[in-house]
Amino acid sequence: MPYSSDVAAAEALTNSYQKLKSEISKVVIGQDETVRLLLTAIFCQGHCLLVGVPGLAKTLLIQTIASALDLDFNRIQFTPDLMPSDILGSETLDQERNFKFIKGPVFANIILADEINRTPPKTQSALLEAMQEYAVTIAGQKYSLGRPFFVLATQNPIEQEGTYPLPEAQLDRFMFNIYLDYPSYQSELDIVKNTTSDRQNEVKRVITGEEIREFQQLVRRVPVVDNVVEYAVKLVHKTRPNTEMAASDANQYLEWGAGPRASQALILASKCNALLNGKYSPDIEDVKAVALPILRHRVVRNFKAEAEGISVEQLIKRLL
């Protein structure tokens, strides 16, 4: 529905966000920061990678968000024998012996790519074109994907056996890399009480695909002052070792820094973060609020950092 002004649309976005949060909290307890980042990515037209040990409700969280949005949702369980055609679809012969394209599960609005690092690179890269171009090509024919379109992937950081780490180029296509930690004692008490009773929580659909597309356009129209853009770009430049603006920590501990996609993501996400907090323009605090999940998977530590036990998170916090 068209809004009378951008201010009215911004207020509608804030209200929709609060409604979404309260619907999601019926099922998912305690993951407030993760929910905020996932919804930010959706409003920014980005993709997310969720990394956490088993049992932290990564899959449940994405399914719950999909239930609260009036969108098509498909879950793909990634396994070592999964083929690209299992995701994209394939051409088959019909009764008249004509080739007919049968669409794969990627043709939905929200794709849950469960345990994405369990499948070989050939199948992982089948998602690449879909994530970047919003289209898939089968037998030379290009098929557009419906909008909005998000890939929300999960990954287990413990298991290394029988997994295929995502290459840097593919990681770069995820707007956020979100780490899920163990719940607090109080949250876990609530989780156990809620999930071991016979109570069923119904999640209502509170926002349509049309509204999401309008909010995505609104986020892009948010004005940003030059000093905020300069701060974001400088921050990304600081991560690039042996360059003119590199920070001393980057020269000492990083092998590679973040690319231009990081700068774009910082500005888009900070615009959305400002709107979700009832502001009409982002400031440097909004950039800082989204910097960690944006930069975490885009910088690569060197051997010295690994030997000294310095984590990517510590380095990013020093740069901020």
| Average pLDDT for 19-46 | 88
| Average pLDDT for 291-300 | 92
- Distance, in Å, from the CA atom of 8 to the CA atom of 117, rounded to the nearest integer, reads 42
Task: Decide: residue 258, CB within 10 A, 0-12 exposed, 13-18 middle, 19+ buried.
Answer: buried
Q: Residue 199 has what pLDDT?
A: 75
Residues 6+ apart with CB under 8 A from 165: 117
Is 252 a residue whose pLDDT tops 60?
yes
Listing DSSP states for 247-288 in one string gives -HHHHHHEEE---HHHHHHHHHHHHHHHHHTT-SS--HHHHH
| Average pLDDT for 216-232 | 93
Is 308 a residue whose pLDDT tops 80?
yes
- Distance, in Å, from the CA atom of 32 to the CA atom of 101, rounded to the nearest integer, reads 41
Q: Residue 220 has what pLDDT?
A: 92
Residues 6+ apart with CB under 8 A from 93: 99, 100
Q: Which two tokens stand for residue 136?
A: 């898939």
Q: Residue 1 has what pLDDT?
A: 54
Q: Residue 58 has what pLDDT?
A: 81
The pLDDT tens digits for 35-80 are 899 999 999 999 999 988 887 878 888 888 888 888 888 999 998 9
Is 138 a residue whose pLDDT tops 60?
yes
- Distance, in Å, from the CA atom of 132 to the CA atom of 136, rounded to the nearest integer, reads 10
Q: Confidence class of residue 9 from pLDDT cuts 50, 70 and 90?
A: confident
String of b and e for 273-303 (b: at least 16 CB within 10 Å)?
Answer: bbbbeebeebbbebbbbbbbbbbbbbbbbbe
Q: Confidence class of residue 237 from pLDDT cuts 50, 70 and 90?
A: very high
Is 161 a residue whose pLDDT tops 80?
no
Q: Confidence class of residue 274 from pLDDT cuts 50, 70 and 90?
A: very high
